[in-house]
Amino acid sequence: FVLCAVWRRALSVTRYSIAEEMERGSVVANLASDLGLELGGLAQREVKLDIFHNKKYLDVNKKTGELYIVEKMDREYLCPIKTTSCFLKLDVIIESPLRIFNIELGITDINDNAPHFRRDRVELDVSESASPGERFSLPNAVDPDVGINTIKTYKLSVSDHFTIEIQTGSDGTQYVDLVLAKSLDREETAVHNLILTAVDGGVPVRSGTANIIVHVQDTNDNPPRFDKQTYTINMTENSPLGTLVMKLNATDLDEGLNSEIVYSFTLYTSEKTQDVFALNPNTGEITVKGTVDYEDMKFYEMHIEARDKGTHPLLGQCKVVVHVTDMNDNFPEITIQSVKNTVDENIPVGSVIALVGISDRDTGDNGKASLSINQNLPFILNQSSDRPMHYKLIVSAPLDRELVPEYDILLTVTDAGTPPLSDNETIQLHLLDVNDNAPQFPQSFYTIRVMENNAPGALLSSLTAFDPDLHENQYLVYFILEKEIANTSMSMLFSINPENGNLYALKTFDYEIEKDFLFHIEARDSGSPPLSSNVTVHIIIVDQNDNAPVIVSPWRAHGSVVEEKIPRSTDKGSLVAKVIALDTDSVHNSRITYQFLQVTDATLFSLDQYNGEIRTMRMFSYRDPRHQRLVVIAKDNGEPALSATVTIKLSTMETAVKAFSDMTEVPLEYDIFSDLNLYLVIGLGSVSFLLLITILVTIVLKCQKVKPSKAAAPCRNSVISERNSTIADSTLVSNDAYWYSLFLAETRKGKLVVRQPVPKGSRYIVSSLPRGTGLTDTSDSAASTLQ
């Protein structure tokens, strides 16, 4: 319970006094006892209280008659006008019967509000040139409480430069001034943060604060300053344009325009340096704007000033020294001091071709260079002992223009930098020709085939030699080396163009007379001394089919018909006649085949196309004509083919004749021919053939009346025929021609055939010619030529 004072006054006004902010339910007074009301009757009656500010702060307990607090009361809210006294007037209305009581409730202040400033942050601008004692007004604090609970005093936080003075107005309000006690230095302290505290007199004591921020206004009293007087920078040469060298940072303790700095080169900075480096006037950045070349300048000096923008500008200075670091940025160079671009191909080994010098503008390892030949060439570099940057280019191996007519000697110079740089130079060396190569034919042996019957002057071949030398050393002249064959000089048979080596035939060749020629051709150059070489030429005459076959058996006079008689009882397969033809052409063209061109009865006779034998295909019948006419053609193998024909007239006889062997012969074969003697035998055979024909005609004329002898017993390799004397005469002539033709045919194959005569007692006479006739001697001489 809260003790309450009750005052009774006239006019029935009851007064109570309570402190503000009492808790809900707190009893203010007992109206029943104070107003003389009965508790029992109060419960049945209705009690009403006034409402203030839309709130019901008090109520009456009808059972106890107590007036209690329903809602907390704030004196500063209920009495907004700041006074020392605050009363709450209300009427208590009791009905049945109606009674009204006037009550005044005095609300006393408690220290429930702390002082506070309307602005909790106050900013002041004070020039650093302000004099001590200057005053600056500060805002007042307010406190809703009254009496001793209101503001009692102000306090300022500790400061060497400021203090406060409190003044009281006529209404008792206190005013506070901020007083400058000590000169300010913005560069030392640009902002002073002060706390102003307002303190009331209540219990407990309450206070409120405000932040006083004093900004010291700058004056241009500090020049720009660099942290160093001299800056040393190392940078590599050939830095790209725009490369940042360094950023200057001069400081000015002032602020505003007084602290804004502009950078510039002084007059002590050379123009060459200013051409290489750029200075940003606002940021102080030094960048590369030209070529930094170590070989041009080893270091650069820049004198720079920093000037502020104050009304009366102040400035500071510094020096920047840039040391340039060498890079391997210069390619080594090659200088050809002396060179021979043309030399003879037989230049001696060790001869000097060129004198070469090298250089490099860099320093240290970057300036050390070496010269080399990276190709596999017959040259070497000889470094001078007293001048290491000079070399001699020397021939290290024999040169040959025919192999390599010129050299592109690539000289490469390389320095020792990282990475190494290199350069190259090409020396062109041309070799002059020396007559050191003899003419060469593509082949050492030429075989040239020439068709017989060639036209005189025909081009046989072109025998061209090659000489790898140049000019007169390669101009060739061709000769036929003289050689006689059968007292005939080669120059009478062949001719060669001395300029181009075209070989011509001077005459028409006949294969049947001349088979080949062997001679030499020489090619000679025009050098000094001249060189030459020769080649063997073998001319082979190629046969043409220019000789028609000659039928040698059965023999007949030119254009005559051969007449033969045979018995009609001849058996099937019996030999009727044999046609033999000779061809003096080569083996290929002289291959002869036989065919019937005309035949009376094609079913009666057959002809072997290879050996020319005519045989019966069946026995004669009574219907067969008595006379049979056979025309045989002998055709060679040439293109176009040539041929000869023979007409055989066969007459059949009724007389029976015993069969006999065609001939008796014992062939003895010896491989005794060579290719050369074969041609001689053919020629000799032709002459012997003509002689034999003459002898045979003579024999036939003498033996026409000779009687046949008794038949002899058959012997090996003999043919016995029971023909009459007339048949024997014709058979004798035919068989002799056959044997001679067989002899010629077989001797062409390199074999010797010896004919054995029919033994004595034969029915037919085989002539034995005496030696005096010359036939035996001729045959013997022909046989002796076989090898």
Residues 378 and 412 in one domain: yes
Would you say 720 and 661 are in contact if contact means Cβ atoms under 8 Å apart?
yes
- What CATH number is associated with residue 73? 2.60.40.60
Residue 649 located in a structural domain: yes
Residues 457 and 501 in one domain: yes
Q: How far is CA 417 from the centre of its chain?
A: 30
Residue 162 located in a structural domain: yes
Q: Once rounded to an integer, what is the mean pLDDT over residues 734-740?
A: 43
**Buried residues in 633-647 as b, exposed as e (16+ CB within 10 A):** bbbbbbeeebbbbbb
Does residue 53 carry a pLDDT above 80? no
Specify the higher pLDDT residue, 676 or 234. Answer: 234
DSSP 472-485: GGG-EEEEEEP-EE
Residue 698 located in a structural domain: no
Does residue 708 carry a pLDDT above 50? no
Count Cα neighbours of 96 within 13 Å in the Cβ-side half-sphere: 8
Confidence at 41, pLDDT banded by 50, 70, 90: low
Q: Once rounded to an integer, what is the mean pLDDT over residues 71-98?
A: 78
The proportion of the chain whose per-residue pLDDT surpasses 70, expressed as a percent, equals 82
Residue 763 located in a structural domain: no
Q: Once rounded to an integer, what is the mean pLDDT over residues 773-779?
A: 33
Domain end marker among 516, 542, 568: 542
Would you say 20 and 74 are in contact if contact means Cβ atoms under 8 Å apart?
yes
Would you say 393 and 356 are in contact if contact means Cβ atoms under 8 Å apart?
yes
Residues 305 and 399 in one domain: no
Range of the domain at 292: 225-325
Would you say 238 and 327 are in contact if contact means Cβ atoms under 8 Å apart?
yes
Does residue 241 carry a pLDDT above 90? yes
Q: Once rounded to an integer, what is the mean pLDDT over residues 700-706?
A: 69
Residue 722 located in a structural domain: no
Confidence at 320, pLDDT banded by 50, 70, 90: very high
Residues 129 and 171 in one domain: yes
Residues 346 and 421 in one domain: yes
Q: Once rounded to an integer, what is the mean pLDDT over residues 248-261?
A: 89
Residues 455 and 529 in one domain: yes
Strand partners, 251: 225
Work out the mean pLDDT of the chain and round it to a whole number.
80
Specify the higher pLDDT residue, 743 or 610. Answer: 610
Question: Minimum mean pLDDT among 407-411, 519-523, 526-530, 707-711: which range?
Answer: 707-711
Residues 18 and 78 in one domain: yes
Q: How far is CA 265 from the centre of its chain?
A: 55
The proportion of the chain whose per-residue pLDDT surpasses 90, expressed as a percent, equals 30
Question: Minimum mean pLDDT among 392-406, 450-464, 586-600: which range?
Answer: 586-600
Q: How far is CA 741 from CA 467, 519, 577, 690, in A?
A: 57, 38, 14, 11
Does residue 545 carry a pLDDT above 80? yes
DSSP 714-741: P-TT-------HHHHHHHHHHHHHHHHH
Coil, helix or strand for 560? Answer: coil
Per-residue model confidence (pLDDT) at position 406: 93
Does residue 162 carry a pLDDT above 50? yes
The type of residue at 683 is G
Residue 466 located in a structural domain: yes
Coil, helix or strand for 19? Answer: strand
Number of structural domains in the chain: 6
Specify the higher pLDDT residue, 108 or 466. Answer: 466
Q: Once rounded to an integer, what is the mean pLDDT over residues 420-424?
A: 91
Residues 337 and 320 in one domain: no
The closest of 296, 173, 198, 287 to 239, measured between CA atoms, is 287
For the chain, the residue count is 787
Residue 309 located in a structural domain: yes
Q: How far is CA 535 from CA 380, 445, 479, 481, 516, in A?
A: 42, 6, 11, 10, 17
Per-residue model confidence (pLDDT) at position 54: 59
Residues 486 and 398 in one domain: no
Q: Once rounded to an integer, what is the mean pLDDT over residues 539-557?
A: 83
Residues 649 and 555 in one domain: yes
Report the 3 state secondary structure along 276-308.
HEEECCCCCEEEECCCCCCCCCCEEEEEEEEEE
Per-residue model confidence (pLDDT) at position 704: 66
Does residue 465 carry a pLDDT above 50? yes
Q: What pLDDT digit, counting tens, does each position of 147-157 carry?
A: 788 888 899 99
Domain end marker among 520, 542, 564: 542
Residue 691 located in a structural domain: no
Q: What pLDDT digit, counting tens, does each position of 369-382 carry?
A: 999 998 899 999 99
- Tell me 25's DSSP state: T
Question: Minimum mean pLDDT among 215-229, 464-478, 530-544, 709-723: which range?
Answer: 709-723
Q: Once rounded to an integer, what is the mean pLDDT over residues 160-167?
A: 90
Residues 319 and 341 in one domain: no
Does residue 538 carry a pLDDT above 90? yes
Domain end marker among 309, 325, 341: 325
Q: Once rounded to an integer, what is the mean pLDDT over residues 29-56?
A: 72
Residues 94 and 147 in one domain: no
